[in-house]
Amino acid sequence: MSRYRGPRLRIVRRLGELPGLSRKQPKHAYPPGQHGQNRKKRSEYAIRLEEKQKLRFNYGLTETQLLRYVRRARRVKGSTGLVLLQLLEMRLDNTIFRLGMAPTIPAARQLVNHGHITVNGRAVTIPSYGCRAGEVIGVRDADVSRRLVENNLQSPGLANVPPHLDFDKPKLTAKITGIVEREWIALRVNELLVIEYYSRQA
């Protein structure tokens, strides 16, 4: 299945707040559809599915990509759920979003795809690029690129930059000093339920 390109607020109403997907607030607090206000008790499978969908839609992943991340997280020592979240948070498109250079993760992905972002001085056009400690993220030295990012910085998607990112706003550069900690992950999700959902596939 390809990446979702439909109405974002419909997804927000169904799954709850997704800071990476949309900054808009839905008018209605209940899920969309004819029976949105009369939802029956959800099964355990439905609860796990919703948690998995939160990760997919917030970070803009396909099902295949998310499954690949789960398998990578299983090979790393430590809590698989936490490692999964850290892998997703350290993606280049998400890092650009967390710095405030883009209002949402889809907007950050577009910045990266169009060649506006550099890593260690070289342009990187792969949104899924995994950022590592010590790398420096910057903006291409072009008027268009700098103007785009500066406009986005006037109203960032999230108010606070996490401590693993050392951001020099005047120079539009940021150094990655470590790995994001759990309390700084903006998405409200139970990662253990996601791992349980994939227990038979991964």
| Residue range 16-67, pLDDT digits in tens | 778 877 766 666 666 666 555 666 677 888 889 989 999 999 998 999 999 9
The model's confidence at residue 1, banded by pLDDT at 50, 70 and 90, is: very low
User: What is the chain's alpha carbon radius of gyration, rounded to the nearest angstrom?
Assistant: 17
Where, residue-wise, is CATH 3.10.290.10 in the chain? 91-178
What are the tens digits of pLDDT across the range 112-160? Answer: 999 999 999 899 999 999 999 999 999 998 888 899 999 988 877 777 8
Can you read off the two tokens belonging to residue 158? 């999230």
User: Could you tell me if 184 and 165 are in contact, meaning their C-beta atoms sit under 8 angstroms apart?
Assistant: no
Domain with CATH 1.10.1050.10 in the chain: 8-87+186-197
Paired tokens of 69 = 């991340």
User: For 78-97, what is each residue's pLDDT tens digit?
Assistant: 889 999 999 999 999 999 99
**pLDDT for position 108:** 92
What is the residue type of 23?
R
Could you tell me how many residues make up the chain?
202
- Residue pair 40/75 in contact (Cβ under 8 Å)? The answer is no
CATH value of 8-87+186-197 in 3.40.50.1370, 3.40.50.620, 1.10.1050.10, 3.50.50.60? 1.10.1050.10
Asked if 202 and 67 count as a contact pair (C-beta separation under 8 A), the reply is yes
CB 127 within 8 A of CB 92: yes
The pTM score is 0.86
The CATH classification number of 91-178 equals 3.10.290.10
Residues in contact with 7: Cβ distance below 8 Å, sequence separation at least 6, in sequence order: none
d(C-alpha 37, C-alpha 19), whole Å: 23
